[in-house]
Structure 1
Amino acid sequence: MKILFLMKPLAYVKPDKDTSVLLMQACQRLGHDIYFLPQGATSITPEGIVFDVVLIACTGDKESPFDVRQRERLHENDVAAIFIRTDPPFDDVYLHDMWVLDRLSDRVRCINSPAGIRTVNEKLWLTQFRHLIPKTWVTTSRDMLESVLAEQGQLILKPTNGFGGQSIFLLSQEDVNKHVILDTMFAKATAYVVAQEVLADAANGDKRILLCDGEPIGAVLRVHPAHDHRNNLDVGGQALATEITVIDQAIIAELKPALLSLGLRFVGIDVIGDYLIEVNVTSPTCLQELNALDGYAHEDDLVNRFLV
């Protein structure tokens, strides 16, 4: 089968970190042809959807992880599945790719559903589950946020469209850089900013739980380095073994029907203490870390399940 991976340019892939590499390797081990699909390389024609792709092979070499072969133009009838693994931000190119992929026939599996990815903003979608999340404000009003900050004393601030810990601030009322940080967050007059209460359990790390078809396959505890409040692995966080608790299971059970109805088969949720923090549907990560901690290649099971 021909399997496409819509993702960031190959030059930016980290072979010892990126989950996409494991999924590619699993497809390759199963005898499938794997192709790199760049953003903006999908077209609607009178004959159907076509893709301008590059045939690649995984080498297993960290210095040169891909053998880049020939460029091809594939028709949708030649494609069995597409793994959508593009990182945010969810910009115009990302949005248009999802709209075009929506036109595919049902015989082409998309992991995850383009419509589902469009629906679920990773910072905002979970606000419908108010009883599962910490106190959260989403606003374009700097005045509102300054009032909330004065009341709460400190807040976690995030953009709505980031990933990997980018532009996440722990802001206190007494911070000498308070106004600079708020200037940065509200640089665009129409930019929504997410503010969450600071949870005491954040000092112990946050838990990434990977889900396949709404069921947990494992979890990784991400613990921040001494010099940073962010637990993200991209900014130096450490991955540790952890358990999926009864409360985690309750959160997952509540999310599962909505995720399945949206065609979101491979998802990462982030939990701090007893609270849901984010729902990641664009390019969930931590599979490499989970494999290392479990001593098991989860990607083979995942790919078999996705392609059946």
Structure 2
Amino acid sequence: MDDISNISVKKDTTFAMLLSAQKRNYQIWTLDTQDIFFKENKVLGFAKETSVFDNEKYFFSKKEAQEINLFNMDIVLMRKDPPFNMDYIYTTYLLEKVQQNGVLVANNPKALRDFNEKLSILNFPNCITNTIVSANTKEIQNFIDLYQKTILKPLDGMGGEDIFLIENNNKITNKTIDYLTKNGTQLIMAQKFIPEIAQGDKRIIIINGTPIPYALARVPQKGSFKGNIAAGGKGVGVKLNKQDYYLCEQIAPMLKENGLLFVGLDVIGDFITEINITSPTCIRQLDEIYNLNIADDFFDVLEQNLTL
């Protein structure tokens, strides 16, 4: 995970998971990707034994780092935030070695490599809005001409970063395309704008293929089209509707088959916009609104998988 000292206790999902683990008497070790290494046919890590407290001022304590053998762990949670770069990918290969030695790794490291959070929606064409993926400026411009109001976004961002709403094709549009595609050398995604964003970008938490029956609708600030909490959106609790359940049912088999035990599905209107598998969040807000403990639900599933 990322440095625990920088998290928001009220919002951080990984912190909620650590609280749940501690409540179940797990010994908790925390480390970052640069702390993991391979030596003498073992995957090791410089990790710190960590305790957590549900207190905003004093919420964790750590002991001195020591070398641990990840093969001796019961569960390894990969909760590193994007960017999804080569360092992240290399780490998944090491975690795959850990998994092969009988340790439960969540989410499945191979699936973390195979399913890009933006591109994986292309596997469900009936569940997404009109979409293209291209680095070709002319192709993207033609798409914008067709739909007039279009969303452009990179394939490796998070938190609403570098996502643009394009309302017509002009010189500013060309500059935006050049910026995102790095002058036609990098693929980006263009999607027909979904006006229902005004009612919120819903984050649906799915645990082992089963959705929590409530979502956090992240409603954009006035004048904005970004619902992301990190981009200033406001979180509002909503019950899942019939279409939400339908979308969850469409992706559930893929999630279960690939060991994606904890997933954040993003839905705007009737469409899936993203399938978050690296470090999906929002459970602290849902817990508070609906008196839930989603991290406990997740650990119930983890412990069921430990016995398989």
**What stretches of structure 1 move > 4 A for 4+ residues in a row?**
none
Q: Does 1:276 align with 2:272?
A: yes
Q: Which residue of 1 aligns with 2:45?
A: 51
- Aligned residue in 1 for 2:286: 290
Question: What CA deviation, in whole Å up to 9, does each residue of 1:252-292 have, x standing for no partner?
Answer: 11111111111100001011111111100000111011111
**Equivalent of residue 55 in structure 2, options 61, 64, 67:** 61
Cα displacement string for residues 198-231 of structure 1 (whole angstroms, at most 9, x for unaligned residues) = 1121221111110000001131111111142100
Structure 1 or 2: larger helix share? 2
> Residue 142 in 1 paired to residue 137 in 2?
yes
Partner of 2:180: 185
For 1:187 and 1:25, how far apart are their aligned partners in 2?
42
2:120 maps to what in 1? 125
TM-score (norm 2): 0.93
The answer to whether 1:11 aligns with 2:2 is no
Q: Which of 20, 23, 26 lines up with 1:26 in the alignment?
A: 20
Q: Give 1:208-227 correspondences, 5 Å limit.
A: 208-217=203-212, 218-227=214-223
Deviations for 1:58-93, whole angstroms, at most 9, x for unmatched residues? Answer: 132323422121212111342111111111111010
Gaps of 5+ in 1: 1-6
Corresponding residue for residue 198 of structure 1: 193
Coordinate RMSD, CA, aligned: 1.6
Post-superposition shift, 1:106?
Answer: 4.7
Q: Could you say what secondary structure the match of 2:222 adopts?
A: coil
Identity %: 26
Query: How far apart, in 2, do the equivalents of 1:28 and 1:143 lie?
Result: 54
Give the CA deviation at 1:235: 1.2
Would the aligned equivalents of 1:109 and 1:307 in 2 still touch at CA under 8 Å? no
Maintained 8 Å contact 1:81/1:307:
no
Partner of 2:164: 169
**1:103, 1:174 → 2: CA distance?**
49
Q: Which residue of structure 1 lines up, in the alignment, with residue 247 of structure 2?
A: 251
CA contact (8 A) 1:207 1:270 kept: yes
2:151 is equivalent to residue 152 of structure 1: no
Q: Which of the numbers 69, 72, 76 marks the counterpart of 2:70?
A: 76
TM-score scaled by length of structure 1:
0.93
Rounded Cα–Cα distance in structure 1 between residues aligned with 2:245 and 2:272: 11
